[in-house]
Amino acid sequence: MMSYILLIIIIMIPGLIVQSTLKQKFKKYSKVGINGMTGRDIAEKMLHDHGIYDVRITSVNGQLTDHYNPANKTVNLSHDVYYGSSVAAAAVAAHECGHAVQHARSYAWLNMRSALVPFVSLASNWVQWVIIAGIIMINTFPQIFMVGIILFAITTLFSFITLPVEMDASRRAIAWLGQSGITTSQNNAMAKDALKWAGRTYVVAALGSLVTLLYYIMIARSR
């Protein structure tokens, strides 16, 4: 138990540092103007430059709630990104469009992640309750706990498959921002820095999930 707590603390501290730094970076780069284009304008241009015309761009509530939905082909931008004209808004808008480009190009890792979504949705809804029931009845019905481990393993696998998807979307975004002339060499470096820290949140989440999975496996082995 102590070893698990120690591992969680080791993961938690970098996680807090990454989250804090990410907020600071986006706050800083949100104050750096770009060229008058809003996040929506940039998203539309990136899509069209890649020959994509069947993806809608919408505004959603919240902060850092930006995402691409392959199910209905929508790039969903938070209010500050959708209407903002800054390095931060450009980076986020281009990143989400990077996912749309992945979808249009049948990027293998995105296809794999999309295929896992139904299983991850099911696993996420049940894993907590199955794990609790499994721990309670581990000495009488250890099979329940094993089912919980399998469900949790699915969510962990999803976290790691997400990593190359996010990194590739950022790579496409930064390359296009520079090639299209939307960013200069200076603010392109800022956009790259913002997306780098955003990507690190996924790394920390994946490692945290792996640590928890290993802990559950240790419990099962000890019984």
DSSP class of residue 35?
A: S
Exposure string of 62-77, with b = 16+ CB inside 10 Å and e = fewer, is: eeeebebbbeeebbbb
66 pLDDT higher than 80: yes
Residues across the chain: 223
The residue to which tokens 């850092």 are assigned: 64
pLDDT band at 211 (very low <50, low <70, confident <90, very high): confident
Q: Which amino acid is at 10?
A: I
What's the confidence (pLDDT) of residue 4?
Answer: 65
11 pLDDT higher than 80: no
What's the confidence (pLDDT) of residue 52?
Answer: 98
Q: From CA 97, how far away is CA 103, in angstroms rounded?
A: 10
Residues 76-91 have pLDDT tens digits of 999 999 999 999 999 9
Q: Supply 180's token pair.
A: 């299209």
What's the confidence (pLDDT) of residue 2?
Answer: 64
Q: What does each C-alpha distance from 189 to 43, 139, 192, 193 come to in angstroms?
A: 19, 56, 5, 6
What's the confidence (pLDDT) of residue 189?
Answer: 95
Residue 33 bridge partners (DSSP): 86
Summary mean pLDDT of the chain: 93
Q: From CA 79, how far away is CA 223, in angstroms rounded?
A: 51
- Stretch among 9-23, 27-41, 115-129, 166-180 having the lowest mean pLDDT: 9-23
Share of the chain above pLDDT 70, in %: 98
Q: From CA 190, how far away is CA 61, in angstroms rounded?
A: 25
Q: How large is the average pLDDT for residues 113-138? A: 93
pLDDT band at 8 (very low <50, low <70, confident <90, very high): confident
Residues 19-28 have pLDDT tens digits of 999 999 999 9
What's the confidence (pLDDT) of residue 69?
Answer: 94
pLDDT band at 176 (very low <50, low <70, confident <90, very high): very high
Q: Global pTM?
A: 0.90
Q: How large is the average pLDDT for residues 11-34? A: 91
Task: List, in sequence order, every beta strand (DSSP E) within 117-223.
Answer: none
12 pLDDT higher than 90: no
Does 96 participate in catalysis according to the annotation? yes
1 pLDDT higher than 90: no
**Domain regions of the chain by residue span:** 2-222
Active-site residue (options: 44, 66, 96, 166): 96
